[in-house]
Amino acid sequence: MNAKRFMLKLRKKFIPSLLSVLTVIILLLVSAKYIYIPEFLDPPSAPISQSFVKHNISCKAIYDMDPVEVGKSLIIRRKTVVEDKDERLIDFTGNCPVFRKIRGYDDLCVSEEEKIFPIAYSLVVHKNAWMVERLLRAVYSPNNIYCIHYDKKSSAQFVAAMKGLSSCLPNVFISSKLETVFYASISRLKADLNCLSDLLTSEFKWKYVINLCGQDFPLKSNMELVSELRGLKGSSMLETSRPSEHKKQRFLYRYELQDASFEYKKLPVKTQQAKSPPPHNIEMFIGNAYFVLSREFIQFMNSSAVVRDFLAWSEDTYSPDEHFWATLVRLPGVPGEVPRSQPDITDLMSKTRLVKWQYLEENLYPPCSGQHVRSVCIFGAAELHWLLNYGHWFANKFDPKVDPILLQCLEEKLEEKQKLFQKGTMLTCPKG
């Protein structure tokens, strides 16, 4: 009898709980398959990538680390294949008014603060045209200027897609000089230099320049960036540290480009030939390829014989973009100088780029919720809160094929922040 009563109590207690759990699971499975397309699109005819399909998910809940919603994002991630063929972007930009309207380029207002503080961008890209467009849209302001440098090895479809973007947006242009870019070689640095030269001769009187690659994404709205950059008061923002003995090998010996049998095509290979010391007794510093530099710094660099000599000396070093900028900002007397006596500025101290390295996870930052590629984290949706609150301006790497929810939520949050910071300011908006 007692056993019977116990079983009845257990059933009453257990079955409702089980039903609740099953209900949640069913809802997750059903809702994960549900996607919606914005009402202004005509799905059968509009040449829209699945990158722009909006998933039925709460970004607020993702940001708040709600376990059910984060779990839902994981289900969507497993089930969703993002179509991002470059040809469809070519078709899309074939009708510029429609492209600008659908992607919201024509709806962007500019505050007085933004108007007097234009920003320049150098985008060095080589694949995934839809991801480049999403990056461009995320950093876009009618008041800024954007140089796109595509790799001469890029596919014809990618090149056409980039030209389509530049033809539809008056403040976006293709670099006048293009490089065949090889990993860790001088060509990567020259790609940025080509854009910088073009930006300097443009009509836009931009205040700062920021360089980006195709898997970067902003963590700050344009209004926030303007505020942060004004706070620099002409100084530079980038990683610059004293090199370890291991890193010194990159410029103590000559490197030669040699054929590689995998995706990089060619790689710099170390020779036994020692290099001469850097010209003009320059003290070497190392960092990464990312920079935020003032117009005055770029003007100085463009006319300096010391910089020209240093660039020529760097031709046969390994990954010169990782010492070139880090060293130049330490030169005495340069605009925005970082004094050589100043301590190292690490990647976590510089706000230019937030990157998670696999071997530092759980030590310096929480583990990657996406995937690792060559020890670098491709971020997942569970990192949304961490990314937006760490304090950096941009992060790397993102891929909608790895996690479409994170990019959707970042776009949503950036739009919210832009509107919030513009609230109460005098705005110039498009007519109509």
Residues recognised as catalytic: 322
User: For the CA atoms of 56, 59, 60, 61, what is the dihedral angle to 10 degrees?
Assistant: 70
Name the nearest CA neighbour of 409 among 72, 102, 109: 72
The angle formed by the CA atoms of residues 42, 414 and 296, to the nearest 5 degrees, is 120
378 bridge partner residues? 371
Intra-chain end-to-end CA distance of the chain, in Å: 79
Name the nearest CA neighbour of 382 among 126, 34, 112, 59: 59
Q: From CA 58, how far away is CA 38, in angstroms rounded?
A: 16
Q: From CA 345, how far away is CA 286, in angstroms rounded?
A: 10
Indicate the DSSP class of residue 280.
G
Which string of b and e fits 21-60 if b means at least 16 CB within 10 Å?
Answer: eeeeeeebeeebeeeeeeeeeeeeebbbbbbbbebebebe
What's the full length of the chain, in residues?
Answer: 432
Neighbour-count burial of 5, counting CB atoms closer than 10 A to its CB (0-12 exposed, 13-18 middle, 19+ buried):
exposed
Indicate the DSSP class of residue 163.
H
Number of C-beta neighbours around residue 76 at 10 A: 23
Q: Where are the beta strands (DSSP E) in 169-218?
A: 172-174, 208-213, 216-218
Using the structure block, give the residue that is written with the tokens 């900002």.
Answer: 329
What backbone torsions phi and psi does residue 416 show, to the nearest 5 degrees?
Answer: -60, -45
Using the structure block, give the residue that is written with the tokens 């530099």.
Answer: 293
Q: Where are the beta strands (DSSP E) in 380-419?
A: 394-396
Query: Residue 397: is the preceding peptide bond cis (ω within 30°)?
Result: yes
Q: Where are the beta strands (DSSP E) in 167-324?
A: 172-174, 208-213, 216-218, 253-259, 266-274, 292-294
